[in-house]
Each structure stands twice: as C-alpha cells, then as structure tokens.
C-alpha cells in the first residue's frame, strides 16, 4: 500500500501497513523525523518498504551491521533535536547495543539534570510463531520495562499500531514499541485521519463479570478467543494494557472490583517480568478486591526454543483457558 | 605575530588553570569534599586544553574523561563553578546534583558523561550525522583514551563516519595506560592511530605534552573536517603522572610504578614545557607568568566559593520521580 496522508475515512489496513502509515504521516509532518536501521531501504519487513524512494537517504538511513553505531546515530541525532525512529529489525538485536539503548538512554535525561530530552523511538519485530528461536523470537518489552526512563508500549490492533506509533514519535522521551510478527498481516479498521493513542490508557476489549484477563498483542487475540470459547460458562473480561510503562493501574483495579479474579498473560519469562510486577502491584493496591490468587501465563524460565518445540512452551489459548479455569475454580 | 602571541598566552592561561583545578579536585577528594571518585589528569591535561580551545562553541565535543574533562571544558571556555558544585553534590550543579561526576553543558556542545569507557563513540555517529544534515559548519571532536580504542564501538564509529564522510575528528589521547594495563599490552601496533588506516582515514601524531603543538594539529584537523573532507584521526602522545583513580594502586601491568620512572615522566610536565615555551617566545616574562598563576588561584577561589556556598541538593523522592521523564 502507498499511504496517503490527508485521506479521511476508515479503511481496512494490515497491522504492518498501519505502522507504515504512521511513519509516512509523521515524516511528512515533521522533517526532523527520520528512520534508521539495517536494510530498511529494501525492507526486511513491509513497514519501511518504499520509504527510501519516497523520502531519500537522509530520511531513511541504512546502516552497516554496526548496532552501536546504528543506535548511536539515533541517540546523538536526538540530542541535536532530531526525532529518530530506530528499527532494530528483530528485537533480540537490541541486546547487541544494550548499554546504549537501555541504561544510557533511559537514564540520560534525569542524570544530566533534565537539560536535553531524548525524543526517539525504538521499534522491532518480536514474538513466537515463526519457530526462529531465542534472538529472533524473544519479547524485549520486559527487559526494557525494567529500565527506568523508557516508555514501553506494544500495539494489539492496526488501529492502535498507527495511533501508538504516532504518539511514540511525538513523545519527548525514549519509547520502545515492539510489534508482534504474529499480527503483522492482520487486517483491521484504521482511520485515514491524524490521531494518536496516548500511553497509559488500557483498553477494555471485552466486558465480563467473573474474571479479568490482562493480555497484550498476539496474546490478546488468544485471550479474546478463549473468552469466546468460555462464553456461557465463565464471563471473561479482557483488558489490553497497551502500554506497560506507563501502566494504567486504575482500569485494572476497576475491573477487579467487578470480577475479583485476575489472570495476566505475558509473552515473556515468568521470572521478573511484567506479569510478576502487575501481580505484585495488585497485591499491594488491590488485595481486598481479590477472591483468588493472581494467575499468570508466561514463558517458563528456559531458553526460547525454535522449531516445533517453540509451541510446546509458548503461551497460547490452551494455557490461558487452563489458567482462567484455575483461578475461577 | 601578535595574534600568535595572544593565542599562546591564552592557551597558557587555560593550561595553568586546568592544572591547578585538577590538583584542587585531588585535594578536595582527599578532604572528603568531592563526591564519588576522581581520575586525576596530572601529566595529561595539555591535549584537552588545546582541543577545546581550537573548537567553536557550536562544535560538539566529547572530552577525554581524565581530569573529568576539566581540561577540555576549560579549553572550550565552559565556566566550571557548576561542575565543581555538581561534583560536590550541590543543588546548583550542572546536573542538579544528580550525578556526582557527570559533566553536561549542552550550550557548549558538551552533552554528557558516562561510566562506560568508549560511550562517546556511538553518539559521535549521530552527532556527526546531525551536523552534516544541518549543514551549518558544525563539527564533532571525539576524544578517547588508548583504553577506549579497545572498544568495538570505536571501530563501528570510525567505519560509519568514514562511510558517510561525517565531520568528525577521532582523537586518541594516548597516555599509555588503561587503569593498570599498558597500551602496548592491549594494542597490536605501536600507534593507536594506525587503526585509522584500516578505514582509509588520514592520521596524524602529535606530542601531547606540548599544548601549542596540539593546538596547531587540532586546528589543522578541524579545518580538514570542516571543509568537508570527512574524518581524520589525531593521536596525542601524552602521559599520566598519577594513579588511575584516587585510592587505586599505581601499577603498570601488575608492577608498581617507581619514583624514578615517575620523576623521568615529570621531565615532560606540560606546565614546565609550556612555561619554557612562553618565556622563549617572549610571550610572557617571569612576572607575567606569576600573574597567570595568581589569576588562576583567584579563579579557583571563585569556583570553590560558588560550590561551597551552594546548598546540598536535597530533593524528595517524589520530586526526583517527577524528573525521570521530559514533558
């Protein structure tokens, strides 16, 4: 698709084209916005396809396989007033320049007296389903979530993909915005107008009475399928956090006032992840609302295997259903 | 020639001030009046002074970390009372007392410090990219030590800066020591600047003890880069008279550096050499040199008064949490 800014009305777009439409609209709007990454001229993923021809080499910056230098291009340019979007291709590759993109990035603004903001976006593909194993499959949102000073959000629908990417580009802080490969070609309604989806606003995707399932991205899709499957038996409320940092605790607590039971689904390891943080916060802030211990559906604490074995351990509909039944028992 | 003499006098003033401030930092650390740690610059302060002095205010400069970037900042005319306040944990510090040792003067093109040796290489690519794209004649000077050039990031930055013909000077202030490791034990070649050849980057070597020689080399390198010729490498051969940081033993490898060895190094004290040079060139006489030292002492007193008068930074946790994100 060739995105057309100014085009109004709601169209059906794929998830990945919705991201591209956000890039195009923001790059048209603000000449300080630029893309930097490896092989983004041709496009390993369709999100940047055609943009080199449209915007040229100064706006779609293709780098050698030098992750620190590539990320440094974004970091230094952001200090100089640009608004870079750095595309790591696969999320696991961010670890190659982890010192820069996590510690130095998240703590730069605060530690240097709040003098110079760092308005940059980090984006990359994540997720199981492609049988590619660890570095090509890991979620990175949990690792970034652990780092202070960085906002972390992950869209679940084409609508949110465009609106959250635009919000990320306009934010004056570093924002990490992974997207799940399992959603890449999903289609959904996307307004052709200029809109943003602000961070820190969870979305109740389905209302229910008996149990709340907090799930995001591909796992949100699975959670909604489970809610359908259990309809008539267990009434499942499904909430999409949309952003992990900032996290909308109010919407979750409000939901628990009705349901009193919670399952957190997170495509990340059990140990030290977002799901663990949410369940601890619910214990601290909403203990009296609960009628059962919080359930979690996550990766077991083991390497992420590739091939067929990926499916044996990844979160998915069956594990979610089993967790829902368990907290409702 | 009068311009040359004025330039020499100005450099000499800055060199003397940098040397005295470095030694003041050392004393304050020993007195418990400086927070965190301090990596003395004694012996190796001439390159920073000369480089900072040769840059325009708008140029982006990552100074070498030794002497906590004081020589480079003095060279670039950064008033340092807010840096001394920062290092003393005071609320008027350049980073509001949040960092202990970080220098950050964005209005002078000096963005940041980091505890990661070689941190400056990755942003250097971005600074250079931004400078080229803006096209306002701004350049980037990336200084680092021989130890930092052990980092893979140095090589990524040199590769990318050459590929993109960015306006960057890569500089190695080579004092031959990375903590205790000697440069000859961590580099396969005698000169760190030999690395530049692998990227097709021109390189020059200069006597880093001679502040005037470094300034001349820096000016030429800056002109090369500002004229759009792409990166150049400058290696300043310098020295380190003191231990790596206050409190660690002063070793070369695993052997203590002896008095004789250090006395020999001090023959090439940059202050001594510069003093001889200004006398020989007739830039200053003995009385003029005394006056330079007196002015520097007065400036130190001013810096200390500011730092000592500033209240200890005591923000509450809520206030600090509010400061994590930009609005």
CATH code, domain with B154: 3.40.50.970
How far apart, in Å, are the Cα atoms of A253 and each of A65, A279, A281, B187?
A: 45, 11, 10, 59
- Name chain B contacts of A110, Cβ cutoff 8 Å: 98, 320, 323-324
User: pLDDT per residue over A239-270, tens digit each?
Assistant: 999 999 999 999 999 999 999 999 999 999 99
The residue range of the domain holding B150 is 2-322
Closest chain A CA to residue B125: A73
User: Is B84:B303 a contact under the CB 8 Å cutoff?
Assistant: yes
Tell me, what's the pLDDT at B3?
Answer: 77
- Name chain A contacts of B156, Cβ cutoff 8 Å: 64, 66-69, 72
- B130, B324, B325 member nearest A80 (Cβ): B130
| Beta strands across the sheet bearing A295-299 | A203-206, A236-240, A211-214, A262-269, A295-299
- Is B225 a domain residue? yes
Nearest CA-CA distance, residue B157 and chain A, Å: 6
Tell me, what's the pLDDT at A284?
Answer: 98
State how far the Cα of A50 lies from the Cα of B28, in Å rounded to an integer.
59
Nearest CA-CA distance, residue A195 and chain B, Å: 20
Tell me, what's the pLDDT at A7?
Answer: 64
Which domains can be identified in chain A, with CATH numbers? 10-191 (3.40.50.970), 203-328 (3.40.50.920)
Joined tokens for residue A47: 């999100």
Whether residue A85 is predicted with pLDDT greater than 60 in this model: the reply is: yes
Q: Over pLDDT 90: what percentage of chain A?
A: 93
Tell me, what's the pLDDT at A231?
Answer: 97
| Interchain contact, A173 vs B131, CB within 8 Å | no
Handedness of CA A34, A38, A44, A49 (dihedral sign): positive
User: pLDDT per residue over A291-310, tens digit each?
Assistant: 999 999 999 999 999 999 99
* Cβ-Cβ contacts under 8 Å for B220 (sequence gap 6 or more): B204
> Strands A121-126, A83-90: parallel, antiparallel or unpaired by DSSP?
parallel
E strand map for chain B: 60-62, 140-145, 168-174, 177-178, 181-182, 203-207, 232-237, 251-252, 255-256
User: Is B180:B254 a contact under the CB 8 Å cutoff?
Assistant: yes
Whether residue A5 is predicted with pLDDT greater than 90 in this model: the reply is: no
Nearest CA-CA distance, residue A113 and chain B, Å: 4
- B129, B159, B323 member nearest A77 (Cβ): B129
- Is B88 a domain residue? yes
Closest chain A CA to residue B91: A113
Tell me, what's the pLDDT at A4?
Answer: 55
User: Is A227:A180 a contact under the CB 8 Å cutoff?
Assistant: no
Whether residue A2 is predicted with pLDDT greater than 90 in this model: the reply is: no
Q: Consecutive sets of 10 residues in chain B, 327 residues long: mean pLDDT of each? A: 89 98 97 96 98 98 98 98 98 97 98 97 98 98 98 98 98 96 94 98 98 98 98 98 95 94 96 98 98 98 98 97 97
Mean pLDDT of the A56-71 span: 97
- B104, B122, B152 member nearest A71 (Cβ): B122
Catalytic residues of A: 136
| Interchain contact, A69 vs B160, CB within 8 Å | yes
Residue bearing tokens 């708008």: B58
| Interchain contact, B126 vs A63, CB within 8 Å | no
| Interchain contact, A82 vs B130, CB within 8 Å | yes
| Interchain contact, B122 vs A108, CB within 8 Å | no
Q: Which residues of A touch B (CB under 8 A)?
A: 58, 61, 63-64, 66-82, 84, 97, 99-100, 103-104, 108-119, 148-149, 151, 172-173
Residue of B89, B104, B130 to mutate for A, most A C-beta atoms under 10 A: B130
Closest chain B CA to residue A67: B156
| Interchain contact, A73 vs B125, CB within 8 Å | yes
- Is B327 a domain residue? no
State how far the Cα of A225 lies from the Cα of A202, in Å rounded to an integer.
19
State how far the Cα of A304 lies from the Cα of A186, in Å rounded to an integer.
24
User: What is residue A89's three-state secondary structure?
Assistant: strand
User: Is A165:A121 a contact under the CB 8 Å cutoff?
Assistant: yes
Domain total of chain B:
1
User: Is A64:B160 a contact under the CB 8 Å cutoff?
Assistant: yes
Radius of gyration, CA atoms only, chain B: 19
How many interface pairs between A and B have CB atoms less than 8 angstroms apart?
A: 131
- B96, B114, B324 member nearest A113 (Cβ): B96
Nearest 10 degrees: Cα torsion A294, A297, A302, A308:
170
State how far the Cα of A73 lies from the Cα of A36, in Å rounded to an integer.
8
- A104, A109, A113 member nearest B119 (Cβ): A104
Averaged confidence pLDDT in chain A = 96
**Max Cα-Cα span within chain A:** 59
Measured at the CA of A274, the angle between CA A155 and CA A134, to 5 degrees, comes to 80
Mean pLDDT of the A88-101 span: 96
Query: SS3 string of B176-205?
Result: CEECCEEHHHHCCCCCCCHHHHCCCCCEEE
Joined tokens for residue B279: 């006398």
Whether residue A118 is predicted with pLDDT greater than 60 in this model: the reply is: yes
């Amino acid at each position: 698709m060739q995105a057309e800014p100014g085009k109004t009305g709601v169209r059906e777009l794929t998830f990945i084209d919705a991201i591209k439409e956000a890039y195009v609209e923001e790059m048209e709007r603000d000449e300080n916005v630029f893309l930097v990454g490896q092989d983004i001229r041709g496009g390993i993923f369709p999100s940047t396809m055609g943009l080199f021809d449209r915007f040229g080499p100064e706006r779609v910056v293709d780098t050698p396989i030098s992750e620190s230098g590539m990320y440094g291009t974004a970091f230094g340019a952001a200090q100089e007033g640009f608004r870079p979007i750095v595309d790591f291709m696969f999320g696991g590759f961010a670890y190659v320049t982890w010192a820069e993109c996590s510690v130095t990035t998240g703590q730069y603004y605060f530690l240097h007296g709040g003098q110079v903001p760092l308005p940059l976006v980090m984006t990359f593909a994540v997720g199981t389903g492609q049988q590619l194993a660890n570095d090509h499959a890991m979620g990175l949102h949990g690792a970034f979530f652990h780092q202070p000073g960085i906002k972390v959000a992950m869209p679940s629908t084409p609508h949110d993909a465009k609106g959250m990417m635009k919000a990320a580009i306009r934010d004056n802080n570093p924002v990490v915005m992974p997207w799940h490969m399992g959603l890449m070609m999903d289609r959904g309604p996307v307004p052709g107008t200029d809109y943003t989806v602000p961070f820190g606003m969870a979305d109740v995707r389905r209302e229910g009475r008996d149990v709340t399932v907090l799930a995001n991205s591909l796992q949100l899709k699975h959670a909604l399928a489970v809610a359908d499957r259990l309809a008539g038996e267990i009434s499942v409320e499904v909430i999409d956090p949309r952003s992990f940092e900032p996290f909308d605790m109010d919407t979750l607590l409000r939901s628990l006032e009705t349901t009193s039971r919670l399952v957190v689904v997170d495509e990340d390891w059990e140990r030290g992840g977002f799901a663990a943080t949410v369940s601890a916060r619910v214990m601290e802030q909403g203990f009296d609302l609960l009628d059962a211990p919080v359930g979690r559906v996550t990766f077991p604490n083991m390497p992420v295997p590739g091939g067929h074995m990926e499916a044996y351990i990844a979160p998915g509909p069956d594990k979610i259903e089993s967790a829902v039944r368990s907290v409702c028992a | 020639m009068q311009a040359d003499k004025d330039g020499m006098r100005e450099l000499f003033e800055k060199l003397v001030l940098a040397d005295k401030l470095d030694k003041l930092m050392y004393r304050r650390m020993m007195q418990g009046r400086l927070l965190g740690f301090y990596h003395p610059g004694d012996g190796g302060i001439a390159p920073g002074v000369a480089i900072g002095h040769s840059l325009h205010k708008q140029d982006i400069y990552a100074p070498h970390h030794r002497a906590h970037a004081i020589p480079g900042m003095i060279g670039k005319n950064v008033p340092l009372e807010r840096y001394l306040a920062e290092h003393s944990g005071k609320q008027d510090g350049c980073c509001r007392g949040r960092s202990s040792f970080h220098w950050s003067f964005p209005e002078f093109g000096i963005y940041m410090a980091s505890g990661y040796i070689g941190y400056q290489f990755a942003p250097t690519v971005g600074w250079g990219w931004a400078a080229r794209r803006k096209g306002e004649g701004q350049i980037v000077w990336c200084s680092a030590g021989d130890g930092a050039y052990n980092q893979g990031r140095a090589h990524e930055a040199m590769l990318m800066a050459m590929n993109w013909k960015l306006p960057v000077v890569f500089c190695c202030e080579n004092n031959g020591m990375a903590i205790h490791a000697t440069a000859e034990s961590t580099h396969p070649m005698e000169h760190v600047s030999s690395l530049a050849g692998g990227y097709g980057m021109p390189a020059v070597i200069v006597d880093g003890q001679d502040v005037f020689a470094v300034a001349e080399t820096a000016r030429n390198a800056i002109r090369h880069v500002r004229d759009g010729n792409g990166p150049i490498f400058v290696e300043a051969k310098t020295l380190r008279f003191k231990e790596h940081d206050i409190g660690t033993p002063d070793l070369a490898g695993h052997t203590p550096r002896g008095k004789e060895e250090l006395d020999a190094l001090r023959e090439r004290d940059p202050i001594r050499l510069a003093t001889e040079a200004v006398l020989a060139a007739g830039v200053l006489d003995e009385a003029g040199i005394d006056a330079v030292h007196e002015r520097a002492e007065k400036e130190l007193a001013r810096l200390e008064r500011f730092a000592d008068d500033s209240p200890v930074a005591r923000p509450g946790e809520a206030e600090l949490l509010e400061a994590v994100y930009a609005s």
